[in-house]
């Protein structure tokens, strides 16, 4: 159940309309949905859309939503995935109560139903090889051919099926098939395979079974067992619906679930395919399923995306049947929106440039008061140490400022946020001509950040006191793929963004940032949102950049130079 659904009080979509009508017209009194992941990988933002839909509907209509693992293929499934999926759904803010289920919980019942079909002459054991079955299946335009085993006596199929279960045959030797119609224009109805022999240990049932039901045979029946009323899945299962219905109609199942399909999520600059994500991980293109660049729930979490932002995003994009590609900016907008409201502000300098305030007494330290979040007065204030030697952001100074560059430059006065106005008096360079230090003066009357004479600098800079700031490593993240439609030219991996991660060492941050709790995302003023990485240690702080702030100056620069998609800073 969602903690709250802030932005989408009146959101509706074609599925919710169906649900509402079913309730209104008495077809159901309680709505039961389910989220049915296969534990063969980590959940990603596309799954989040489905999770929000299924759990969201259950919550809105006073029903319930089950978490059911579709664990029918032991060769691809692992306990690690089962655990990660549960953690991710919970982190997203949803609760399945008592209803944690597995298709494997129903193996015995499913087997019994398969036997039922065999006895009814509606399923048979086929001795054809996989290749032969394919050849008999026909093509999109040509009907298939009946298997020579199609009409063998039910008793013979039954015997063979029992021996399949008993482990008498090797993988692939035989399968159980539904007897429907080899000439159907819907290929899924051309005697689909219901059971196959797989001698492999299952994460939950171990070696108890060596025959496993296919998705088609397991899914709808599991829905029926659990009393699912609305079995919501993605568009690619549309062609399976007739089979879903055929099985429900031909089996003595306890309920009549109905399947509805919606368009899966596609996002620009990212790939949402478990197959590809698995490759990124196994081939070491990223550091793991929870790499902050991954579109996985665990990656987004590590990156600092709040669950609320992900839920808001799901509400924002809606649910429909048209294939679509959502701009990643939409996700970033939803996330910035919650972070702007909730993230505490802190000072951090990513690329430090030394500033010496010449007219500020050596050894003196003042505690200046700074708002924790201008958006939220209740967040209160904190004090930050100010002293003679400071660090400011290197790109907040330009010796020869172009028009529209409002920050520090020789002779120019700017405000140091919540502290003093300073004026740059001298630029110190090393032998190579690189600026290494700025000699400045301050106006003591501007303490706190306001001038008694009403003077208003065009820029306000963030800063840290050199003697008080603590060092940190900061990892900057950008889109994993550099083009909006990765792989459109053929080679997906060639579109990997080489600048998707930039590691900055030698950053200087406000001391209390050392205490930022894991999972908390803060705003580094004027830079963006950041969160401590799990790699962070007391003495060796590591922060991940969740997202940059919107940056008009970076945009202006980008327009002028026509590069840097994510803009500036570091």
Partner RNA sequence: UGGCGAGUGGCCUAACGGUAAGGCACCUGACUCUGGAUCAGGGGAUUGAAGGUUCGAAUCCUUCCUCGCCAGCCA
- Residue 275 CA to residue 277 CA, distance in Å, equals 6
The residue from 2, 50, 296, 460 that contacts RNA (CB under 7 A) is: 460
Taking CB under 7 A as the rule, does residue 375 contact RNA?
Answer: yes
Site for RNA in 415-454 (CB under 7 A): 415, 417-418, 448-450
Site for RNA in 505-534 (CB under 7 A): 523, 525-526
Residue ranges of the alpha helices (H) in 364-433? none
**Residue count at the site for RNA (CB under 7 A)?**
90
Site for RNA in 275-314 (CB under 7 A): none
Rounded to an integer, what is the distance from CA 411 to the centroid of its chain? Answer: 47
| First-residue to last-residue Cα distance in the chain | 40
- Residue 452 CA to residue 81 CA, distance in Å, equals 61
Question: For this structure, is 264 an active site residue?
Answer: yes
Taking CB under 7 A as the rule, does residue 553 contact RNA?
Answer: yes
CA atoms within 13 A of residue 148's CA, in its CB half-sphere: 5
Taking CB under 7 A as the rule, does residue 384 contact RNA?
Answer: no
Task: Reduce the DSSP state of residue 408 to 3 states and report it.
Answer: strand
The residue from 81, 124, 161, 237 that contacts RNA (CB under 7 A) is: 237
Site for RNA in 70-109 (CB under 7 A): 70, 72-73, 76
The one-character DSSP state at 190 is S
Contact between 159 and 211 under an 8 Å Cβ cutoff? The reply is no
Exactly one of 38, 78, 86, 366 is catalytic; name it.
38
Nearest to 342 by CA among 372, 370, 315, 371: 372
Closer residue to RNA, CB minimum distance, 351 or 535: 351
Shortest spacing between CB 291 and RNA, in angstroms: 23
Question: For this structure, is 163 an active site residue?
Answer: no
Shortest spacing between CB 456 and RNA, in angstroms: 6
Closer residue to RNA, CB minimum distance, 30 or 171: 171
Taking CB under 7 A as the rule, does residue 321 contact RNA?
Answer: yes
The residue from 263, 276, 504, 542 that contacts RNA (CB under 7 A) is: 263
Closer residue to RNA, CB minimum distance, 232 or 291: 232
Exactly one of 264, 321, 354, 439 is catalytic; name it.
264
Of 21-29, 93-101, 278-286, 553-561, the window that binds RNA (rule: CB under 7 A) is 553-561
Taking CB under 7 A as the rule, does residue 269 contact RNA?
Answer: no
Site for RNA in 15-34 (CB under 7 A): 17
CA atoms within 13 A of residue 292's CA, in its CB half-sphere: 26
Site for RNA in 103-142 (CB under 7 A): 128-130, 133-134, 137, 139-141
Shortest spacing between CB 447 and RNA, in angstroms: 8
Phi, psi of 33 (to 5 degrees): -120, 180
Taking CB under 7 A as the rule, does residue 405 contact RNA?
Answer: yes
Nearest to 420 by CA among 461, 381, 469, 453: 461
Taking CB under 7 A as the rule, does residue 158 contact RNA?
Answer: no
Contact between 235 and 262 under an 8 Å Cβ cutoff? The reply is yes
- What are the respective helix, strand and coil percentages of the chain, to the nearest 5? 30, 25, 45
Taking CB under 7 A as the rule, does residue 493 contact RNA?
Answer: no
Helix (H) or strand (E) holding 345: strand 345-346
Exactly one of 177, 241, 274, 526 is catalytic; name it.
274
Shortest spacing between CB 177 and RNA, in angstroms: 9
- Residue 486 CA to residue 489 CA, distance in Å, equals 8
Taking CB under 7 A as the rule, does residue 8 contact RNA?
Answer: no
Contact between 229 and 223 under an 8 Å Cβ cutoff? The reply is no
Closer residue to RNA, CB minimum distance, 79 or 552: 552
Closer residue to RNA, CB minimum distance, 325 or 499: 325
Closer residue to RNA, CB minimum distance, 60 or 291: 60
Rg, C-alpha atoms of the chain: 30
Question: For this structure, is 38 an active site residue?
Answer: yes
Phi, psi of 413 (to 5 degrees): -105, 135
Of 235-243, 276-284, 292-300, 510-518, the window that binds RNA (rule: CB under 7 A) is 235-243
Site for RNA in 176-205 (CB under 7 A): 185-188, 192-193, 196-198
List, in order, residues 6 or more apart from 403 with CB less than 8 Å away.
Answer: none
Backbone region of residue 119 per phi and psi (left: phi > 0; alpha: psi in -120 to 50; beta: other values): alpha
- Residue 137 CA to residue 292 CA, distance in Å, equals 44
Mind telling me the catalytic residues?
38, 264, 274
């Amino acid at each position: 159940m969602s903690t709250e659904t802030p932005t989408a009080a009146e959101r509706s979509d074609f599925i919710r309309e169906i649900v509402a009508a079913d309730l209104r017209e008495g077809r159901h009194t309680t709505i039961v949905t389910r989220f049915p992941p296969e534990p063969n990988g980590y959940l990603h933002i596309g799954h989040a859309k489905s999770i929000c839909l299924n759990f969201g509907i259950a919550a809105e209509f006073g029903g319930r939503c089950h978490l059911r693992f579709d664990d029918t293929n032991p060769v691809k499934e692992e306990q690690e995935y089962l655990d990660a999926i549960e953690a991710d759904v919970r982190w997203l803010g949803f609760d399945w109560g008592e209803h944690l289920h597995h298709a494997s919980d129903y193996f015995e019942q499913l087997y019994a139903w398969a036997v039922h079909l065999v006895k009814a002459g509606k399923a048979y054991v086929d001795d054809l090889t996989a290749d032969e079955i394919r050849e008999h299946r026909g093509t999109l335009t040509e009907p298939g051919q009946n298997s020579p085993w199609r009409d063998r006596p039910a008793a013979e199929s039954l015997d063979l099926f029992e021996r399949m279960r008993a482990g008498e045959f090797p993988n692939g030797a035989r399968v159980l098939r539904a007897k429907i119609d080899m000439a159907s224009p819907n290929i899924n109805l051309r005697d689909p395979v219901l059971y196959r022999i797989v001698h492999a240990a299952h994460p939950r049932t171990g070696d108890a079974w060596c025959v496993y039901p296919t998705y088609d045979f397991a899914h709808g029946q599991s829905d029926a067992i659990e009393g699912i009323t609305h079995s919501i899945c993605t568009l690619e299962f549309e062609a399976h619906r007739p089979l879903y219905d055929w099985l429900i109609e031909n089996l003595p199942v306890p309920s009549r679930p109905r399947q509805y399909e919606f368009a899966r999520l596609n996002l620009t600059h990212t790939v949402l395919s478990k197959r590809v994500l698995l490759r990124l991980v196994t081939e070491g293109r990223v550091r793991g399923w929870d790499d902050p660049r991954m579109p996985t729930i665990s990656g987004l979490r590590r990156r600092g995306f709040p669950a609320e932002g992900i839920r808001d995003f799901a509400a924002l994009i809606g649910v429909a049947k048209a294939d679509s590609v959502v701009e990643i900016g939409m996700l970033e907008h939803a996330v910035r929106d919650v972070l702007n409201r909730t993230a505490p502000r802190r000072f951090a300098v990513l690329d430090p440039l030394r500033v010496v305030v010449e007219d500020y007494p050596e050894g003196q330290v003042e505690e200046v008061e700074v708002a924790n979040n201008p958006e939220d007065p209740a967040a209160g204030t904190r004090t930050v140490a100010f002293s003679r030697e400071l660090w400011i952001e290197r790109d907040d100074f330009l010796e020869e400022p172009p028009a529209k560059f409002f920050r520090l430059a020789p002779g120019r006065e700017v405000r140091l946020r919540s502290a003093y106005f300073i004026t740059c008096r001298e630029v110190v360079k090393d032998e190579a001509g690189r600026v290494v230090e700025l000699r400045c003066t301050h106006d003591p009357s501007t303490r706190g950040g306001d001038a008694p004479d009403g003077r208003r600098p065009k820029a306000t800079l963030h800063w840290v006191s050199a003697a008080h700031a603590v060092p940190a490593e900061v990892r900057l993240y950008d889109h994993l793929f550099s083009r909006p439609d990765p792989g459109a030219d053929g080679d997906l991996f060639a579109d990997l963004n080489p600048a998707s991660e930039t590691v900055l060492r030698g950053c200087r941050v406000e001391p209390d940032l050392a205490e930022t709790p894991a999972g908390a995302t803060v705003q580094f003023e004027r830079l963006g949102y950041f969160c401590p990485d799990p790699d962070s240690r007391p003495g060796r702080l590591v922060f991940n950049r969740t997202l940059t702030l919107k940056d008009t100056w970076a945009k202006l620069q980008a327009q002028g130079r026509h590069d840097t998609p994510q803009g500036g800073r570091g």
